Amino acid sequence: MAEVLLLLIIFLFFSLIVSLSSGADTITANRSISGDETITSKDESFRLGFFKAGNSSNYYIGMWYNKVSTDPPTVAWVANRETPVSDRFSSELKIMDGNLVLLNESKSIIWTTGVNSSSSSSSSSSVVAILLDDGNLVLTSGLLNSNVTIWQSFDFPAHTWLPGARLSYDNRTRTKKLLTSWKSNEDPAEGLFSLELDPIGEQYLIRWNRTTQYWTSGSWDEKDKLFSLVPEMRLNYIYNFSYVSNENESYFTYSLYNPSIISRFIMDVSGQVKMLSWLDATKQWNLFWSQPRQQCEVYDYCGAFGSCRQSGLPFCNCLTGFTPRSQSDWDLNDFSRGCVRKTDLQCGRTSEKYGFLRISSTRSNKPPNSTSLAVGSSGACESSCLSNCSCNAYSYDNNNGCSIWDTELLNLSGDDNNEITINVKVASKDLPSDKKDNGLIIGAVVGSVIGVVLLVGLIWFLIRRNNRRFIGQTTVEGSLVSFVYRDLQTATKNFSEKLGGGGFGSVFKGTLPDSSVVAVKKLESVSQGEKQFRTEVSTIGTIQHMNLVRLRGFCSEGNSKLLVYDYMPNGSLDAHLFSKDKLLDWKTRYQIALGTARGLVYLHEKCRDCIIHCDIKPENVLLDADLCPKVADFGLAKLVGREFSRVLTTMRGTRGYLAPEWLSGVAITTKADVYSYGMMTFELISGTRNSEQSEDGRKKFFPMQVADALIDGVDILKLLDPTLNGEASLEEVTKLCKVACWCIQDDEENRPAMSQVEQILDGVLDVNMPPKPRSLQLFVDNNDAVVFFTESSTSSSSQAHSNPSSRVSQAKSAASL
């Protein structure tokens, strides 16, 4: 009896689960959503229900990625963007009069699909909303009737463009479907940035406030399947874009070559379009492409009277004498409302005194909406601004004369690019150097403040001096020296001689007291704690090899994190390779290829923990006094932690040193470095960037040319950097070309290990011709006379390019990520 009861319970339990899960992708007249209830698409890719945006107390109906485990969930679509509710339990998403509507706490409709229900009244009671596997929420006329789509969320995109959806222009109604950014990470309401289709130019535009255009993809090239100003699409092989245009409408749409990849395309709150894919190994969205590349290229990102500085964090600051219009928005990185004067301009009253704040700008990027005034001198220009109450700023230069801004100043840059000076009118009392009035009181106050500051400074100095002696003598971690910030400041003459800037921060030249020359790297945005930082740094310190740049020491004081390296007098490889005045002969290039390979073998296979460099490119191969190559910047990915994806965006771009697996979301192995090494090797051979295009933009991708030449048996020396005048060993050039082709195979399994590369270049191992990498074929000219390989011809014509048994055991994966 008990068994029967148990069976019955189990049966009931299962039928309950079945009834819960079946139909859980639809909202019907009898089934609405409230509180924590959700519906899920059949394949469980997407879920729809109430979600809370950030720390605000607002709830929205949204759709999020169900298989992606971020907290908060990653939202792909929002219904009531502008009209949140605060109590999700007394709000309800339901079918009403043939529409899907959202009722707020007092049962008022605050969002609706807005279909004219009287035209389809016969079936309005049977209307259902279904969440499909592709993330499209469709309203159809019922399960039993013909399932005509009445409304679909794909026609009302929010900030995410899902595969299969169309960004379109309707030629009949003259309307566009745009992608619009959120206002901030806590507010999905429509922000200022939008991505839209320009049907005339067959291109994408990003616009600010639906008007000012600040980025374009360039026109669509149907033959090459890419946008003219996005040449890196040549290396794209996850998005399959297509463009359709007829008399009724024009649209772009895309699919994923590999549908199992979870990838998203968004118009971000930063004003940039971004492509990200989900990396299951790190449980993070991996950003692999964004445009405009620099945050400060986004038009008016910092709002009126806010200035944008690319090297600063945060990027935005109000001008002196100004303060955020809304501090709470500002704190959420929503800078759109900009800054306002601390002291308003006093019209009609003369008591207020004004001064001018000088800021710099380039001629071409002056803030918009100035008017020119026909006055002959800087002084006259200044006094017309002073005397006109509505004048916010003036600028005078000999070419353009006097310009006056009556409007707010937009799109200000905080970088010093002293082409022209803009003088912003600010109340004198808000300017820093004002000492004219109230001389006595201010003098007394300033005097005592200075006294205190001096005293504190003296004490601090004494403490510091003690500390320093202490540090200098004892706290040496392994072979690393722990430097004091102030010493590095002195050594680098207050960071005056910049050697370069990479993804992780700027590098400055310095001279230590013992007169040894060093390169000091100021790390940006280190997200780690003190202890973890020291652990990582001492790990890097133990890595020493003649083809790796040696870390000598570090500094960690509060937010200042610096690394001190040996100085490389010959700079980085790119400077030699791409500027024709410092020529590298072939022998040196070959040695650079070999030395770099050795450095990478050490990182991949000889260290205690395998290290993936993640950023091999000519900028990161430094040359010592004898032009011996040394790999720089290894081990830093872990130091900067979460910020790594930001770093990746700044370092990639048109150059394409990144292996395809970076895009596809699988775990990164040492083979990603092998790919980048291969791309760099092509540049050693050609002396130009692979990505470089000829004037007409039609030059063939160099790796492709090499692959073709090798296969066709064309004279490979013809492809060599012309500045070498053919002075090179044919055998070595051929060998290097083959190695490079082997390194850039699409499938990482088919690429060699760095140790194999080393052996080949050393002459210990032979190399056969590898097959032509498939990803290169996707975006090449279809009319190209050289027929490229299809899957079947690849297998028939490829001689076994590697001896599988010679394959060195592969380094373990993902150790440095």
Ligand X SMILES: *[C@@H]1O[C@H](CO)[C@@H](O)[C@H](O)[C@H]1NC(C)=O
Summarize as ranges the residues that interact with ligand X (CB under 6 A).
Answer: 28-30, 54-55, 104-106, 108, 110, 116, 118-119, 126, 130, 138, 140, 147, 171, 185, 209, 211, 214, 240, 242, 245-248, 255, 257, 296-297, 299, 336, 365, 368-369, 371, 388, 390, 404, 406-407, 411, 413
Rg from Cα positions in the chain: 31
Rounded least distance, CB 404 to ligand X, Å = 6
Nearer to ligand X (CB atom), residue 276 or residue 733: 276
Nearer to ligand X (CB atom), residue 423 or residue 705: 423
Rounded least distance, CB 291 to ligand X, Å = 13
The residue with tokens 């070999």 is 594
Distances (CA, A) of 78 to 136, 137, 333, 383: 12, 11, 20, 52
Q: Number of helices (H) and strands (E) in the chain: give both, helices first.
A: 17, 44
Distances (CA, A) of 141 to 91, 116, 127: 24, 13, 5
Query: Is 615 tagged catalytic?
Result: yes
Nearer to ligand X (CB atom), residue 364 or residue 809: 364
Residue 294 in contact with residue 651, Cβ under 8 Å?
A: no
Rounded least distance, CB 300 to ligand X, Å = 7
Reference 690, options 741, 725, 735; nearest CA is: 741
Distances (CA, A) of 280 to 68, 635, 673: 8, 22, 20
CA distance linking residue 184 with residue 53, whole number of Å: 10
**Phi, psi (rounded to 5 degrees) for 429:** -70, -15
Query: Residue 89's Cα: distance from chain center in Å?
Result: 38
Query: Residue 684's Cα: distance from chain center in Å?
Result: 27
Tell me the one-letter amino acid at 153.
S
Residue 431 in contact with residue 320, Cβ under 8 Å?
A: yes
Reference 423, options 321, 515, 508; nearest CA is: 321
**CB crowding 387-419: b at 16 or more within 10 Å, else e:** ebeebbbbbbeeeebbbbbeebbbbbbbeeeee
Rounded least distance, CB 125 to ligand X, Å = 7
Nearer to ligand X (CB atom), residue 108 or residue 579: 108
Nearer to ligand X (CB atom), residue 30 or residue 418: 30
Distances (CA, A) of 803 to 79, 146, 767: 57, 60, 9
CA distance linking residue 190 with residue 158, whole number of Å: 8
Contacts of 179 (CB under 8 A, 6+ apart): 157, 158, 159, 160, 161, 167, 194, 195, 196, 266, 267, 273
Nearer to ligand X (CB atom), residue 185 or residue 734: 185
Residue 521 in contact with residue 562, Cβ under 8 Å?
A: yes
Q: Sign of the CA dihedral 193, 198, 201, 203?
A: positive
Q: HSE on the CB side for 186, CA within 13 Å? A: 12
Nearer to ligand X (CB atom), residue 56 or residue 378: 56
Nearer to ligand X (CB atom), residue 324 or residue 510: 324
Rounded least distance, CB 112 to ligand X, Å = 12
**CB crowding 178-187: b at 16 or more within 10 Å, else e:** bbbbbbbbbb
Rounded least distance, CB 642 to ligand X, Å = 13
Nearer to ligand X (CB atom), residue 114 or residue 722: 114
CA distance linking residue 363 with residue 343, whole number of Å: 29
Q: Which of 224, 300, 615, 708 is catalytic?
A: 615
Rounded least distance, CB 330 to ligand X, Å = 13
Rounded least distance, CB 391 to ligand X, Å = 6
Q: HSE on the CB side for 107, CA within 13 Å? A: 1
522 annotated ligand-binding residue: yes
Rounded least distance, CB 567 to ligand X, Å = 32
Rounded least distance, CB 412 to ligand X, Å = 8
Which H or E element spans position 64? strand 59-65
Nearer to ligand X (CB atom), residue 66 or residue 104: 104
SS3 per-residue string spanning 505-560: EEEEEEECCCCCEEEEEEECCCCCCHHHHHHHHHHHHCCCCCCECCEEEEEEECCE
Residue 211 in contact with residue 196, Cβ under 8 Å?
A: no
Nearer to ligand X (CB atom), residue 70 or residue 108: 108
Q: Is the peptide bond before 314 cis (omega within 30 degrees of 0)?
A: yes
Rounded least distance, CB 122 to ligand X, Å = 12
Contacts of 249 (CB under 8 A, 6+ apart): 168, 169, 170, 171, 172
Reference 568, options 616, 629, 482, 496; nearest CA is: 629
Binding-site residues from annotation: 522
Catalytic residues: 615
Binding-site residues from annotation for ATP: 522
